[in-house]
Amino acid sequence: MSIYQQLGVEPIINACGTVTRLGGAPMPAEVLDAFAQAAAESVPLEHLQAAASRRIVDVTGTEAGLVTCGAAGALTLGAAAILTGHNLARIEKLPCCEGFPNEFIIAREQRSGYDHSVRAAGATLVEVGFNEIVSNAGVRRTEVWEYEAAITPHTAGIVYVHANDSCPQLQDVVALAHAHGLPVLVDAAGELPPRSNLKDIPATGADLVCFSGGKAIRGPQATGILCGRRRLVSAAAMQMLDMDDHLELWDPPEELIDRSQFKGIPRHGFGRSLKVSKEEVVALLTALDLFASGVYDRQLTEYRRLLDKVADSLSGAKASCRMLEPLTPDRWPVLEIFIDAAALGKSAMDVCRALRGGSPPVYVGHAGLSEGRLQINPICLHDAAVSGLIKRLLEEMS
Ligand SMILES: *Cc1c(COP(=O)(O)O)cnc(C)c1O
């Protein structure tokens, strides 16, 4: 009986990918081993985070880095760092921002549920641009001048959500922000692979960049990375780390926390509720090394073989398949299954629901249901799971 079954929870076949709702990415054996080794000894967390910073600097080309509680935690800490800097009074006050600038400008089309992560620190969002293309009312997307027109003395920074086709380009937003002395906080949580993005996104000059550790990096699900300017990463670290020490004894690693910036030792900061364990830090760093070195590429042929097997098995079903090819060579393809609703007598939504409700439950990608598409992402699959997946697909689609 699996450890989940002992708890009365049925393990699923995950054809949906590294999504948070379904438990994130599968951790490689090296990562699990690193987690177990890290649990066997104690270390001061600020020294461990300084070591993490050195590794993150190597792979991102930034000045400093911090292992955070998910990319969402990185966004919250990044916003907190921008709001307070090293100002002890402000650090103590968060998330109340009375008396200092707390507005972050964001393109309306980049807003999502992850806004909470930025607002949680005390920021308020000021929207610019429209969503004219979606509302079928125009042809243009957000433009740089719109950010500039929204800057006031209350502006603390700009939030930017990175995607392949984000508009305007990040480097143009960074140039505008820097011309006004403002920092840019980038949500790049799901932008890996390509692994080149580890360096390319910070290379735009963005002040802070957030990556998820529990998606394609395959670290612990609740880890993330905040990297960028040393001064800001330092302010973020100060607000996350436990501060229960005497000023006379406090000796933080200089490369991560610039003690000279502080007139006293702050108490636990706003980010204390976003703590990360030593095991998670070590496991994430191990996964980051694997990801950045390209070791995961060796699995790409296997992923394609698994998807081909699914597609071949559906040749007689009331559906057609298409392989969605990856945009970069270090990404994997995704198989799209188009349901012939008229022939089958049920919609893609019906099939998706039935798959979830079966035994074992099967979860497929659900982003294209309204267009009659199921998606099969191979990253959490293996041969046994694929056999179960094929059996259930055939039962629902023949
Ligand atoms: C996944 C995701 C996040 C949150 O990342 P976690 O590591 O799960 O906290 C934030 N923003 C975007 C765009 C994401 O896709």
pLDDT at 73: 98
pLDDT tens digit at each of 398 positions of the chain:
899 999 999 999 999 999 999 999 999 999 999 999 999 999 999 999 999 999 999 999 999 999 999 999 999 999 999 999 999 999 999 999 999 999 999 999 999 999 999 999 999 999 999 999 999 999 999 999 999 999 999 999 999 999 999 999 999 999 999 999 999 999 999 999 999 999 999 999 999 999 999 999 999 999 999 999 999 999 999 999 999 999 889 889 999 988 887 778 889 999 999 999 999 999 999 999 999 999 999 999 999 999 999 999 999 888 899 999 999 999 999 999 999 999 999 999 999 999 999 999 999 999 999 999 999 999 999 999 999 999 999 999 88
Residue nearest to atom 14 of ligand 1 (CA): 189
Centroid of ligand 1 to alpha carbon of 189 (angstroms) = 5
pLDDT at 258: 82
Atom of ligand 1 nearest to the CA of 72: 9
* Contacts (Cβ under 8 Å, ≥6 apart) of 334: 307, 323, 324, 365, 375, 376, 377, 378
How far is Cα 82 from Cα 100, in angstroms, rounded to an integer?
Answer: 11
Pocket of ligand 1 (CB under 6 A): 20, 70-72, 114, 161, 187, 189-190, 212, 214, 224
Cα–Cα distances (Å) from 108 to 125, 203, 289, in that order, read 10, 25, 35
Say if CB 177 and CB 183 are below 8 A apart: yes
The CA radius of gyration of the chain, in Å to the nearest whole number, is 23
Q: Which fold has domain 3-21+296-397?
A: Aspartate Aminotransferase, domain 1 (3.90.1150)
CA dihedral 242, 244, 246, 247 (to 10 degrees): 40
Residue nearest to atom 13 of ligand 1 (CA): 189
pLDDT at 197: 98
Centroid of ligand 1 to alpha carbon of 99 (angstroms) = 31
Residue nearest to atom 11 of ligand 1 (CA): 189
Centroid of ligand 1 to alpha carbon of 187 (angstroms) = 8
* Contacts (Cβ under 8 Å, ≥6 apart) of 253: 46, 47, 50
If we measure between CA atoms, which residue out of 75, 118, 125, 69 comes closest to residue 95? 118
Decide whether 3-21+296-397 matches 42-292 in CATH topology.
no
Centroid of ligand 1 to alpha carbon of 251 (angstroms) = 33
pLDDT at 398: 83
For the domain spanning 42-292, the CATH number is 3.40.640.10
Residue nearest to atom 3 of ligand 1 (CA): 189
pLDDT at 321: 96
Q: Can you tell me whether residue 388 is helix, strand or coil?
A: helix
Say if CB 182 and CB 82 are below 8 A apart: no
Centroid of ligand 1 to alpha carbon of 2 (angstroms) = 29
Atom of ligand 1 nearest to the CA of 223: 7
Write the single-letter amino acid at 140.
R
Q: Residue 372 burial by CB count (10 A; 0-12/13-18/19+): exposed, middle or buried?
A: middle
Token pair of 365, please?
A: 């990608």
Centroid of ligand 1 to alpha carbon of 41 (angstroms) = 31
Enumerate the domain spans of the chain.
Answer: 3-21+296-397, 42-292
* Edge-to-edge strands, sheet with 334-339: 319-324, 334-339, 373-376
